[in-house]
A and B are shown apart, each in its own frame.
Chain A
Amino acid sequence: MPKQSSFFARVWPAALAIGFLLAAWQLYVDLSGLSPTLLPSPARIAQQAWIHRQALLDNSVPTIRATLLGFSCSLTAAFLLSIVMDFSRPLRRALFPVFIISQTLPLVAIAPLVVLWFGFGLMPKIMLVALVTFFPMLVALVQGYQATEQEIALLLHAMGASRWRAFRLARLPSALPLFFAGLRISITYAVVGAIFAEYSGAARGLGIYILNAKNNFRPDLVLAAVAVSATLTLILFGMTALIQRLAMPWIRFEQAAAR
Chain B
Amino acid sequence: MSPPRLQLEGITKAFGQTQVLDGIDLHVREGEFVSILGPSGAGKSTLFQLLIGGIRPDRGTIRFDGTPLAAGEGRFAFMPQRDALMPWRNILDNATLGLEVQGMSRAKARGRVLPLLADFGLQGFERHYPAQLSGGMRQRAALLRTVVQDREMLLLDEPFGALDALTRTSMQRWLEAMWKRHRWTALLITHDVREAVYLSDRIYVLSARPAQVLHEIRVPLPRPRAAGFQEASAIEANLLDMLFTGQTFAGDKP
Does B74 sit at the interface, judged by CB under 8 A?
yes
Chain A interface mostly: helix
Q: Does B237 contact A (CB under 8 A)?
A: no
Number of interface residues of B (CB under 8 A): 26
Is A38's beta carbon under 8 Å from chain B? no
* Binary CB contact string for chain A from 40 to 79 against chain B (1 if under 8 A, 0 otherwise): 0000000000000000000000000000000000000000
Residue of A at shortest CB range from B78? Answer: A158
* Interface of chain B, main secondary structure: loop
Are A158 and B132 in contact (CB-based, < 8 A)?
Answer: no
Q: A151, A154, A155, A254: which contacts B87 (Cβ < 8 A)?
A: A254
A243-259 toward B: CB 8 Å interface, digit per residue (1/0)? 00000111001101100
Cα A7 to Cα B149 with chains together (Å): 44
Q: Are B101 and A165 in contact (CB under 8 A)?
A: yes
State whether the Cβ of B54 lies closer than 8 Å to any Cβ in chain A: yes
Tell me how far the C-beta of B163 lies from the nearest C-beta in chain A, rounded to whole angstroms. Answer: 16
Q: How many residues of A contact B (CB 8 A)?
A: 23
> In the complex, are the beta carbons of B80 and A151 less than 8 A apart?
yes
Asked if B221 is at the interface (CB within 8 A of a chain A CB), the reply is: no
Minimum distance in angstroms from A152 CB to a CB of chain B: 5
Which residues of B from 98 to 115 have beta carbons under 8 Å from A? Answer: 98, 101-102
Q: List chain A residues, Cβ under 8 A from B149.
A: 159
Q: For residue B129, which residue of chain A has the nearest CB?
A: A250
**B101 and A160: CB pair below 8 A?**
yes
Number of A-B contacts (CB under 8 A): 65
**A157 proximal to B (CB < 8 A):** yes
Stretch from A17-25, A119-127, A168-176, A229-237 forming part of the interface with B: A168-176
| A150 CB → nearest B CB, Å | 9
Bound Cα distance from A146 to B87, whole angstroms: 16
Contact A152 B84 (CB under 8 A): yes
Q: A158-B155, A253-B131 are in contact. List 18 more A-B contacts (CB 8 A).
A: A149-B84, A151-B82, A154-B52, A154-B80, A155-B78, A157-B54, A158-B52, A159-B149, A160-B101, A161-B101, A169-B86, A169-B101, A173-B86, A173-B88, A248-B88, A250-B87, A254-B87, A257-B131
A-B pairs, top 10 by smallest CB distance, nearest first, are A158-B78, A253-B131, A158-B52, A151-B80, A151-B84, A250-B129, A159-B101, A254-B131, A173-B88, A160-B74
A-B contact pairs, 12 of them (CB 8 A): A152-B84, A154-B80, A154-B84, A155-B78, A155-B84, A156-B101, A158-B76, A159-B74, A160-B72, A165-B101, A250-B88, A254-B131
